[in-house]
Amino acid sequence: MTVLRKTLIATAIMSLFSTVSFAEEENSSFIPLSKGVKSIDINLNDENFTLIRNQKVGNLISELYNTTHRGALQPMTIAEGIETVGEVEFIEYMKKAQTDDSIAIIDSRSPGWFARLRIPGAVNVPYTNFKDRDSAVEMMEDEMGVIEKEDGSLDFSNAKTVVLYCNGYWCGQTPSMTKRSKYSLLNMGYPVEKIKYYRGGMQAWTSLGLTVIGTGK
């Protein structure tokens, strides 16, 4: 068999598989979370829910996020060493957090935002609590596995991997809690490799029709 003939056969086979894969995806009867996955049942922080994208044709996102009149965009990397994650990675952390206490899914928005609409299973740790040392330490002890020693120093040896989100690409609440406020996580010594930033936040989450809790008003 000549090299040319082998090449033509291989190309034809690859084309066939590509066509079948494309056809299967196009004929899918549901809107997937990821390829072939319609929904995931999750039990996280005493909440049982099914993570799924809204399947209703014509569904619109919450009025909280249906405007483009927003602030300046946050950079993709808010600090060196902090990993920025997308929806698929965020969901993987949610799945792992069900059985892994070293992972915390954290909503860094103010309580009012959290009450109106949020990602299920997330814990509210408001960025405003990092404007003074006492409340910052209390939050890190309660939700992030940090220990304050008798001499006032902080022990980060059991610090959790925190996966943080706020309102979206333009929202400054997670960046403030992470690095900008005087008592931010990084300024207090939190291990940079244990901080994950879901930059898309609620803006991206709702635009994809993913499961939320709250009225959105």
Q: What is the mean pLDDT of each run of 10 residues along the chain (217 residues)?
A: 45 38 51 95 98 94 92 96 98 98 98 97 98 97 98 98 98 97 97 98 97 91
Residue 96, exposed/middle/buried by CB under 10 A (0-12, 13-18, 19+)? middle
The pTM assigned to this predicted structure is 0.85
Q: 81 is written with which tokens? A: 């060493």
Q: 51 is written with which tokens? A: 């993570």
8 A C-beta contact, residue 174 and residue 166: yes
- Comparing CA positions, the residue from 211, 208, 201, 135 lying closest to residue 169 is 201
Distance CA 119, CA 38 (A): 18
Long-range contact set of residues 49-53: C-beta below 8 Å, sequence gap at least 24: 49/120, 49/121, 49/211, 49/213, 50/211, 51/91, 51/94, 51/120, 51/210, 51/211, 52/210, 52/211, 53/208, 53/209, 53/210
- Comparing CA positions, the residue from 173, 158, 162, 146 lying closest to residue 195 is 162
Query: What pLDDT was estimated at residue 216?
Result: 85
Backbone angle region of 165, left / alpha / beta, with phi > 0 → left and psi within -120 to 50 → alpha: beta
Whole-number Cα distances in Å, 54 to 57, 68, 209, 212, 213: 8, 22, 5, 10, 13
Distance CA 216, CA 208 (A): 15
Query: What pLDDT was estimated at residue 110?
Result: 97
Query: What pLDDT was estimated at residue 29?
Result: 85
Residues 6+ apart with CB under 8 A from 128: 110
